[in-house]
Structure 1
Amino acid sequence: MTRSYLAKNVQSLQPSGIRKFFDLASKMDNVISLGVGEPDFVTPWNVIEASYHSLEQGYTAYTANAGLLELREEISSYLSKEFSLSYQADNQILVTVGASQAIDLALRSVLEPGDEVVVVEPSFVSYSPAVTLAGGKAISLSASAENEFKIQAEQLEEVITTKTKAIVLCSPNNPTGTVLNRKELEQIAAVVEKHDVLVISDEIYAELSFEEKAMSIASIPGMAERTIVVSGFSKAFAMTGWRLGYACGPVEIIDAMTKIHQYTMMCAPTMAQYGALEALRNGMESVENMKMSYRQRRNYVVNALNEMGLSCHVPGGAFYVFPSIKETGMSSEEFAQRLLEEERVAVVPGHVFGESGEGYIRCSYATSIKQLGVALQRMARFVEKHRISDRDIEVTNQQ
């Protein structure tokens, strides 16, 4: 038998459920995709122009491993002003190739083989695989729809063991759009401090919070020294393809992350860093305009979904809705597959975000109102066609 050269932890990984439906949709005609979480806005022109200008000036060499000091200073100032976070530019901030790399570096920096990481679900699809690749063991902690997918402190208390090294949080959340408020974060922080574990806080959607300003758990007294804050420019600044993120945290951890970064990546793209510098200095008006548009779309989509019978809570941030499709009697996989085939609308089945996501779908409203209108009409037609009776729903729930 031919020897397998693949690592076992890589062999065990499943392909991204998000990309599965995106790839299927890309091969079909007349498809409206509500699948991939990417802004439909083009990067603001002043950011593009700043990047061009950096090239004209000949800034094409490597930057420092941790990123341009000027950019790190601007990130430090921005986080202090917007989120009441205090980080030193020279040793507590690392510029990365997207927020995803920051999460990967954080996990690889702190995990020993067998360490457990609590992943609050529904969650972004990369968290648990990243834990596995870093040699750890992901422990799923399911938030319920009854609590608007907000994790309860007592639930966290129940799953923490002596092997627990960290917990991964995301607020505003992908895929649910849920935003944790101060009281809820303080309750989580109390458990975290009691058991002396780390928090990896994914705050990539922090700027896209609608009713109340997003709060970082690192701003709670006693949490800065046990939190790695991860964010970036992809979502709020419409810079997904620029691949630029950052991590902030205790000096010891950021230093360890930088060592891995310098051996595996060297530095983030130079021209992207100059673009990000402009985004922080002069891009907030564009962010506010995009956020206002997302909020309008959110209201439109939530109302339409509830009207067609797909129960949906009002998400407080990001650009996703997470409606229940239980009344159709289909699994989330079947619903997404058939919706794509029959009505040419691509959504993501909820189960790819964890077991608690089964019975739901994720729809991104980061597309035009016109496209959303057509997609929602198609979905309403599909739901009406496949709606099951109350008696059938009762039987399905009992099975």
Structure 2
Amino acid sequence: MFCMASPCRNLESRDECRSASRTGPRKKRNKTNPPPSGVIAVTQGAGVFHLTKDLVHNRQSFSRWSSPESPLWLLSGRFANNPRGWPVDFPFWLKKMLVDAGLGHWLPGSENISSSAHTIAQCSNRVLTAPFSCLNNMEESDTPPAPDFLNLAGGYLQGFSPPGASLPRSLPEAVCQLPEGSPGLREELSRYMASENQAVYSSEKEIAVTNGATQAIQLALDSLVNPGEQVMLPDPCPALHEHLVRCHGARPIWLQTRQEEGNLCFSLKEFSSQLKKCRMALFANPGNPCGGVIRTPRLQEMTSLARKANAIILWDCTLHELQFDGPPVHPGSLEDCRNYSLIANSLSVSHGLSPTRVGWLTGPEFLLSPCKALLKIQRNGASELGQRILLDHLHSWSRADWNRTLERLDQNRHQAYQRLCGMGLDPFWPAGGIWFWLPVWRRQSAEDFCQQLSQGYQVLLRPGEGFGPSGPGYVRLSFGVEEGRLDEALRRMELYLENKPFEARGPLLRAVA
């Protein structure tokens, strides 16, 4: 029996505690409410929680914390009312306490960082705030599959060759790299956004080139949001958004959303009340993973409410070019949105330029200036080679060629939707992006669904864990794949569902939600 209690405040009290524990009389245990046998008491403030020794000494049983009978499952209140016992993430204080006690390597998902207790103990608070259990899914989705696998879990286009993507033949011998990006690239980005998105930004004061859209979002968080403040996220949202918010030390506050005919819908009353508690709201448009699009009237209403709440809206527009139902509306083309919002952009997904790792952040000068100042301090901007690749691509890019690529993707979208509905599935209709958001049956978890497809039929899908609180029970399927491979992957899915007993399925999660 031992107790992990809060450390003493000063050296004198620590010495008193040590001497009292060695020489002092042992206090009698309260017989009216004794702790259960074989229990470790974990003290946090005035509350005492009990962890069984089996959970501490047996890694396998410690990982089985999703069961409602597990004490660890009860410690997390995030999904306390979830009857299915979806995986949850421990609160930061509990993670920190276990790590300080030398038990951090027993945390579920800690093996995704390191199996060594010493390594976990060296992690900063920013690393501990990240959800460990989702890191493995992110690594698996980024790992190239074997040649005989059909990958529908990817976050990029496969089998599509957007014109204009080419490597430069040479680089200047003497390059004076500016942290906010080369002037030539910023001027070309300003011209591109004005001609293609009807969004006018000054190349000198309102555009900063970043190391991908990820750094653009992280830069906005680091510059404008303090640790401990709240950031609004829609549910579901890209897995990376929650990771960036938590690693920054901010707290995500979730906005329930729904999708109607490709439009991303939510209650404006709830949005307004939640926004009053937040410093920033982070939205992807089109949405990832569901593909819902926020239209012009809702964009203007959101901006008006954000101004009243003195909050900032950060738009992730990396999928802006991938919209099918109607002309896309860029937030920067609307005057109110442009003057009171930051926009993270990239052509990595839509134009097949993922290896370049180049994105850009745009916004009014009073919002972008702090971001550019921090970028100059950190000195970790995009590489000169990546900037040259993007610049050459923009010079040779044409709207006619891009429209042909969109037509192929749109055909994939319609054909895959019909095939999935014919299998008895109920996918959300995506108005943008390259993914379907699929509910699975209530008697089967999304991870089991993806694992069985991968092991038995060599088809890769992305489970919904990590895409927000509503993600478990859903899978993400990409239709941004070459036509022949997509057709074969869907055929294998049909075989899998035909061989699956009907009684093992149960009702679809979406049908009874």
| TM-score of the superposed pair, with normalisation by structure 1 | 0.89
**Residues 69-88 of structure 1 mapped to structure 2, 5 A cutoff:** 69-88=183-202
AA matched with 2:127? V
**Comparing both structures, which one devotes a greater share of its residues to helix?**
1
Task: Determine the structure 1 residue equivalent to 2:495.
Answer: 381
Within 5 Å, give how 1:45-64 maps onto structure 2. 46-49=164-167, 51-52=168-169, 54-55=170-171, 58=172, 61-64=175-178
- Secondary structure of 1:150's counterpart equals strand
Change (3 A) 1:43 1:93: farther
Unaligned 5+ segments in structure 2 are 1-100, 103-117
Corresponding residue number in structure 2 for 1:302 = 417
Which range moved further: 65-74 or 269-278? 269-278
Question: Is the CA contact 2:156–2:350 (under 8 Å) kept in the aligned structure 1?
Answer: no
Q: Give matches, 1:212-361, under 5 Å.
A: 212-284=326-398, 285-326=400-441, 329-361=443-475
CA displacement at 1:97 relative to structure 2? 0.9
In structure 1, what residue type is equivalent to 2:274? V
Q: For 2:128, which of 11, 17, 32 is the aligned residue?
A: 11
**1:120·1:151 contact (CA, 8 Å) conserved in 2?**
no
**Comparing 209-218 and 115-124, the one that deviates more:** 209-218
Is the counterpart of residue 40 in structure 1 residue 158 in structure 2? yes
Matched, 1:102 2:220: no
Query: Partner residue of 2:284?
Result: 170
Q: Deviations over 1:335-391 (max 9, x none)?
A: 112221222211011232112223321011222111111110111122233364599
Change (3 A) 1:396 1:141: closer
Point out the more displaced range, 388-397 or 353-362: 388-397
Larger relative contact order (Cα-Cα within 8 Å, sequence gap ≥ 6): 1
* 1:160 shift after superposition: 2.4
Could you list the per-position Cα deviations for residues 223-279 of structure 1 after superposition, in whole angstroms to 9, with x for gaps in the alignment?
Answer: 222211111120222100111100001213322222322333443111221221222
- Cα distance in 2 for residues equivalent to 1:242 and 1:24: 18
Instruction: Determine if contact 1:17/1:352 at 8 Å carries over to the other structure.
Output: no
Query: Could you tell me how far 1:167 is from its partner in structure 2?
Result: 0.5
Tell me which residue corresponds to 2:149.
31
| 2:225 maps to 1:137 | no
- Please tell me whether the aligned partners of residues 305 and 312 of structure 1 are also in contact (alpha carbons under 8 angstroms): yes
Where in structure 1 are there 5+ consecutive unaligned residues?
Answer: none
2:322 aligned partner = 208
Figure out how many residues of one structure are paired with residues of the other and give that number: 392
- Seen in structure 2, the aligned counterparts of structure 1 residues 375 and 393 have a Cα distance that, compared at 3 Å, is same
Three-state SS of the structure 2 residue aligned to 1:205 is: coil
Cα separation, 2, equivalents of 1:396 and 1:219 = 35
Contact 2:228 2:251 in 1 (8 A): yes
1:118 aligns with 2:235: no
Which residue of structure 2 lines up, in the alignment, with residue 192 of structure 1?
306
1:136/1:391 Cα in 2 relative to 1: closer, same or farther (>3 Å)? closer
Question: Aligned partners of 1:182, 1:59: CA distance in 2, in Å?
Answer: 46
C-alpha distance in structure 1 between counterparts of 2:413 and 2:509, whole Å: 33
Letter matched to residue 287 of structure 1: W
Aligned match for 2:242, one of 128, 131, 149: 128
Post-superposition CA distance 1:303-344 (Å, at most 9, x none): 111111111232111111112223x63122221122212222
| Letter of the structure 1 residue corresponding to residue 343 of structure 2 | V
Q: CA deviation at 1:62?
A: 4.1
